[in-house]
């Protein structure tokens, strides 16, 4: 709902405490320069269209849901279902910041593990759940930075069922996120992509940071 309201002429200014479109655009530019990535519109990508069809045939994920509700990173390209800095339903401005960091953590994983990363992600439920749990750590860290609280981790883990993850791997991811949330609550920043992001956020939009203690 907030993304819809932000997109209405004359209404976006009411969200003065929220990050602004130009700031979101600048943040994405910064992250892309630091981690050497590029973005593409997901709906316009033939590669993503084919992937959507394959996922639907396999019974893993509805085609439109894949194209509209998820960002996807392949190599150093981030395929996103929105225009950066333009809020829309399901993708308000802060959600665009969070998904930027989440997807860049996948780039970090790719850099750390090399060519085996994508093969493991595509073929192994356990590996896919582990990679996503690590990327969702960014979501926890940013939520804590912004709001001073932590979201429930169970819904994050349950969402991995849409990635074709087996129940036992979803449980491992839930346990991992629960343990990680304890560290985040004590001020730890675990993810490399979050470290990079916070350099910019603390410098350019410090007023968004929750006052803790």
Q: Would you list the domain boundaries of the chain?
A: 2-208
Q: Which two tokens stand for residue 133?
A: 């749990």
Task: For residues 94-117, give the mean pLDDT.
Answer: 95
Q: Note the pLDDT of residue 104.
A: 98
Q: What is the pLDDT of residue 213?
A: 58
For 169, the token pair is 């791997």
pLDDT tens, position by position, 45-91: 999 999 888 878 877 778 888 888 899 999 999 999 999 999 998 89
More confident residue, 122 or 204: 204
Q: Does pLDDT of 100 surpass 80? A: yes
More confident residue, 68 or 183: 183
């Amino acid at each position: 709902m907030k993304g819809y309201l932000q997109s209405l002429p004359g209404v976006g200014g009411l969200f003065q405490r929220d990050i602004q479109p130009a700031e979101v655009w600048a943040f994405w530019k910064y992250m892309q320069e630091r981690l050497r990535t590029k973005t593409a519109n997901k709906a316009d990508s033939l590669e993503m269209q084919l992937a959507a069809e394959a996922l639907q045939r396999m019974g893993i994920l509805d085609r439109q849901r894949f194209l509209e509700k998820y960002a996807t990173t392949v190599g150093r390209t981030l395929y996103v279902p929105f225009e950066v800095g333009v809020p829309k339903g399901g993708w308000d401005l802060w959600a665009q910041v969070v998904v930027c960091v989440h997807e860049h953590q996948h780039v970090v994983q790719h850099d750390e593990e090399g060519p085996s990363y994508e093969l493991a992600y595509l073929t192994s439920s356990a590996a896919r759940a582990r990679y996503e749990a690590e990327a969702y750590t960014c979501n926890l860290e940013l939520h804590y930075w912004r709001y001073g609280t932590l979201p429930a981790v169970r819904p994050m883990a349950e969402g991995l069922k849409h990635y074709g993850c087996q129940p036992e791997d979803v449980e491992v991811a839930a346990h991992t996120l629960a343990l990680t949330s304890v560290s985040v609550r004590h001020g730890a920043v675990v993810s490399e992509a979050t470290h990079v992001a916070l350099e910019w956020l603390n410098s350019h939009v410090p007023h968004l940071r929750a006052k803790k203690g």
